[in-house]
Amino acid sequence: MKEQEKAEIKRLSDQLDALNHKEQPLLDAGDAEKLGELLREKDKLLAEIERLKGVRVQKLSKEAQKLQQMPFSRAITKKEQADMGTLKKTARGLIVVHPMTALGREMGLTEMTGYAKKAF
């Protein structure tokens, strides 16, 4: 189901991109009727993309929701990654999520991220 939603968002984004490319020639030609139709179509696509993204966020697993509700999160630097033991000792309750794990992919992470109740 998740892959279908992702594919649908991609398809709609591609359609939106195609409409953006059609917009400039219509502006240059001064064709107001076709331009208005194009802008209405763009608005529909944007609304649908936002709706699908909202659905995707709501479907995050309970663990992902719990992590995202934590008051503090930030990317883990390479230096901190090299010495994880020290980092975890200084920041009690720290949860580190790698982008290549199932949870990291689900959350859409691009870099290793730490979540904690207090700043670290």
Q: What is the CATH number of the domain that holds 110?
A: 3.30.1370.150
Does 53 share its domain with 101? no
Res 69: pLDDT: 87
Domain that holds residue 95: 70-119
Q: How far apart are CA 113 and CA 120, in angstroms?
A: 12
Residue 73, strand partner residues: 115
pTM of this prediction?
0.50
Res 68: pLDDT: 86
Q: How far apart are CA 35 and CA 112, in angstroms?
A: 44
Residue 29: how many other CB atoms lie within 10 Å? 10
Does 3 share its domain with 18? yes
**Domain closes at, from 69, 94, 110:** 69
User: % helix / strand / coil in the chain, to the nearest 5?
Assistant: 65, 10, 25
Return per-residue pLDDT of the chain as tens, 120 residues: 567 778 888 899 999 898 888 888 878 888 788 888 888 999 999 999 888 887 776 667 778 888 888 899 999 999 999 999 999 898 888 999 999 998 898 888 999 999 999 888
